[in-house]
Structure 1
């Protein structure tokens, strides 16, 4: 572990050692043993301090327990440091941490600047000892929080001055705060135009492995659909009936470009998308996610492939927690046309975006062959916010 050392106040120690050693020699030359003993004691004290602070902190290392913490907004976790000191003991030190403000230390009246919390913790460790340092943190807002700076400051035992050690390598530890999760009271309409495995009262397709009964035979029924056992019992031909099914796969599309550069809109859109993902997870509906964040992969935008259940929901939460307004964006309509050209669009499409003339024209065209739901910002002004819906807060099993 590499540290950069900044030493302050060593000059007066060196000067004091030279002066006291000189006075110590003169005292013995002129026969002043008591005075010489006093100067010798001061010289020994300064020499000890010089040795101590020349070696303090050179063999100290630490590691963080785990690879990262996961929070919901308002949740509390502990940041656990495991320190080990193989050199001289450290007394009366101070550990200073700089943490990005997605999480915040549980300390009253703690201020932060430029999105960074600066935290100071008393620190002491003996020689060849190991200690565990726990710092309680609370999830404040959606986002990714890293430890940007670690400084260990050790003051001089006597007089002014200190040794300040700054960690010269990145701390590989992340705190992820998931977006707020809300439960939707409405439902997503599925389209009966594609075969699948989900029950659908009205569908063009049936699951031949799930018979649900019989009915009287009509001349248009196929021969292999006749239920011979039921026909013998009823003394007339009976046709098998199967469960009507359809594909309920959904794609969730998020437009992260803010209308009129309203900063609060970004977070609102993320929360709206999470509410749809939670609905799909609770109703066991497969879904994929596409976001118009520019990437350098084969897919030029952020795309989460189709999945189902809690694993897919946690992937969605983690992906959205890492989103930032600073990421490069691409036009929303460009992403939509790319999805359509590559055949990645299922029958049900949910768009979380603001309205635009180009988007309205595209939706009007897609509505002829897809079920399209546009969750857009109301056009009546910022005070109106999003179109009002009944949303209840709920937790997540993370």
Structure 2
């Protein structure tokens, strides 16, 4: 394993060795035995320190037990590191681990505005030994946390000075902190204008594979809908009745451009998107997600294709953990026009955005063909879902793991 070494204080050690050697020679020439012995002891001490710090830490290796952790805000995890040392022991060292501040130690409740948290740990390891270090961490905010730097400081045994060692290899470890999952507080209705698999009392379409009973025949009924067995039993013509169904697929569209350029506006929109996705997962409703953050590839915005269940919810949570309000953004109106032109909009569209004249006019046009939900509750004064008494949902880490 490669380490970059920064040595401080070795010049004073070399100077001390040279001065001690000169005084030792003078004491030896003038037959001052005890004085020569004292200078020899000091020289041996400085030489030992010089040899020790020239070799210490060169055979030290570190590995991270897990490559990726997934947690919710407020939940705990452990950063586990395995250290293996060579023949030279390390005494009285200090390990500094720099983490992106989506996670932090459990006892730390301060805000870090730099985006990086430096965690300091006492460190010591013997000759040819293995040491395991566990650091308890807690999810503080939605985001992605990676280990950006690992440094080890080893102080000189005698006098001032130290050796700094910085890990010169990429650390393949990251923590994904998912956003809060809160109940939606409303119902998403399916569209009656498109055939599908969702039961709906008022719909233009019937599922021919799900008969639910019979009724009296009327002249407008088709001949192949007559139930002959029931007609013979009832002594009058009976018509089959089928389950009325419609399409219930949803596209969730998130506008990451803030109205007031505030950080909380972005986070509240993300939490609202998760609420809709949680509702769709529990009701087995297929949904797609579009976010107006620029992306490379065929689509210039973030796009999660339609899916349902826990696997789809897991994909969405990973996507939301990796996005930031600092990423480059696409115009929300431009994204809506591209979605409409590509034909990727199902019959129900949810727009999670602040409200302005252009978005209002576009949503009115869509309402003629789609079921449109314009959700701007995050910017209302009453803060709808903040003031509700929020209970714990059934969505936890078990449902998030694939």
- Superposition TM-score tier, normalisation by shorter sequence: over 0.9
Query: How big is the shift at 1:234?
Result: 2.1
Q: Is the 8 A contact 1:60 1:87 kept in 2?
A: no
For residues 153-193 of structure 1, give each alpha carbon's deviation from its aligned partner in whole angstroms, at most 9, with x where no partner exists: 00011111100011223322111111111102210121111
Tell me how far apart the structure 2 counterparts of residues 146 and 10 of structure 1 sit (CA, whole Å): 34
For residues 253-296 of structure 1, give each alpha carbon's deviation from its aligned partner in whole angstroms, at most 9, with x where no partner exists: 00000113123211111111111111111111111100000111
Tell me how far apart the structure 1 counterparts of residues 302 and 187 of structure 2 sit (CA, whole Å): 26
Tell me how far apart the structure 1 counterparts of residues 298 and 22 of structure 2 sit (CA, whole Å): 75
The equivalent of 2:211 in structure 1 is 211
- Match runs of 1:94-173 below 5 Å: 94-108=94-108, 112-173=112-173
Q: Is the 8 A contact 2:265 2:379 kept in 1?
A: no
Tell me how far apart the structure 2 counterparts of residues 109 and 202 of structure 1 sit (CA, whole Å): 53
- Match runs of 1:175-194 below 5 Å: 175-194=175-194
Aligned length: 396
The equivalent of 1:394 in structure 2 is 392
Query: Judging changes above 3 Å, is the alpha-carbon distance between structure 1 residues 387 and 21 closer, same or farther for their aligned structure 2 residues?
Result: closer
Runs of 4+ with deviation above 3 angstroms: 107-113, 377-380, 383-391
The equivalent of 2:93 in structure 1 is 93
The equivalent of 2:235 in structure 1 is 235
- Match runs of 1:5-84 below 5 Å: 5-84=5-84
SS of the residue corresponding to residue 261 of structure 1 reads: coil
Query: How big is the shift at 1:44?
Result: 1.4
For residues 110-166 of structure 1, give each alpha carbon's deviation from its aligned partner in whole angstroms, at most 9, with x where no partner exists: 674512211110001112111110111111111111122211000011111100011
Q: Is the 8 A contact 2:97 2:150 kept in 1?
A: yes
The range that moved more, 38-47 or 103-112, is 103-112
The equivalent of 1:312 in structure 2 is 312
SS of the residue corresponding to residue 127 of structure 2 reads: coil
**Structure 2 length-normalised TM:** 0.94
Query: How big is the shift at 1:240?
Result: 1.6
Tell me how far apart the structure 2 counterparts of residues 222 and 102 of structure 1 sit (CA, whole Å): 63
Query: How big is the shift at 1:27?
Result: 2.8
Matched, 1:326 2:326: yes
The range that moved more, 150-159 or 167-176, is 167-176
The equivalent of 1:299 in structure 2 is 299
Tell me how far apart the structure 2 counterparts of residues 294 and 192 of structure 1 sit (CA, whole Å): 34
Question: What is the RMSD computed on CA atoms of the aligned residues?
Answer: 1.9
Query: How big is the shift at 1:28?
Result: 2.8
The equivalent of 2:400 in structure 1 is none
Tell me how far apart the structure 1 counterparts of residues 256 and 113 of structure 2 sit (CA, whole Å): 26
Query: Judging changes above 3 Å, is the alpha-carbon distance between structure 1 residues 46 and 387 closer, same or farther for their aligned structure 2 residues?
Result: closer
Query: Judging changes above 3 Å, is the alpha-carbon distance between structure 1 residues 177 and 131 closer, same or farther for their aligned structure 2 residues?
Result: same
Matched, 1:284 2:284: yes
Which ranges of structure 1 fall in alignment gaps of 5 or more residues? none
Which ranges of structure 2 fall in alignment gaps of 5 or more residues? 398-402
Tell me how far apart the structure 2 counterparts of residues 109 and 387 of structure 1 sit (CA, whole Å): 25
The range that moved more, 215-224 or 168-177, is 215-224
Q: Is the 8 A contact 1:251 1:287 kept in 2?
A: yes
SS of the residue corresponding to residue 182 of structure 1 reads: coil
